[in-house]
Amino acid sequence: MLVIGSDHGGLELKEVIKELLVERQIAFTDLGTDNNASVDYPDFGEHVARAVATGTAQQGVLICGTGIGMSIVANKFPGVRAALVHDPFTAQMAKEHNNANIIVLGGRVLQPEAARAILATWLDTDFAGDRHQRRLDKIARIENEIRSGKF
């Protein structure tokens, strides 16, 4: 399952993304926000990242004005590999090389059709494994050391 969330700056683009998910018959849960009132992006980034980190969801999409804030929040969670992407190439590399389990988009910097193409590429790309898995294992080791206070 996939979870999606945004702040007010990403709400409009989130609705476009949800349309694509429905078209592709991808099950998802919208974790908010649901209106244009100003909200704090860390709240919604936390909801999505926590769902992915705990295994409640396998993948996530986060959207704020630029994507920067959501990326920072999501990557605080162990096991989350949130990638802020700007075009189909970076979306492909995020999945193929980094096995990004959350894609982050900027609602104020991406046009709707560009965002659709980006998400489609990310969804259609498989993780390449091999040497890339070795690198992800190193990231997991770093996370474990930080959690255990050995950094």
Q: What is the pLDDT of residues 52-71, one digit of tens each?
A: 999 999 999 999 999 999 99
Q: What is the CATH number of the domain that holds 26?
A: 3.40.1400.10
Q: Is-contact 106 90, C-beta < 8 A?
A: no
The DSSP code for 126 is P
Catalytic residues: 64, 97
Q: Give the predicted TM-score (pTM) of the model.
A: 0.96
Query: 99-137, pLDDT tens digit by residue?
Result: 999 999 999 999 999 999 999 999 999 999 999 999 999
Q: What's the domain range around 7? A: 2-147
Number of domains present in the structure of the chain = 1
DSSP SS3 for 149: coil
Using CB atoms within 10 A of its CB, is residue 75 exposed (0-12), middle (13-18) or buried (19+)?
A: middle
Q: Is-contact 76 56, C-beta < 8 A?
A: no
Query: 12-43, pLDDT tens digit by residue?
Result: 999 999 999 999 999 999 999 999 999 999 99
- Rounded CA-CA distance 48/31 in Å is 7
Using 50, 70 and 90 to split pLDDT, how confident is the model at 151? confident
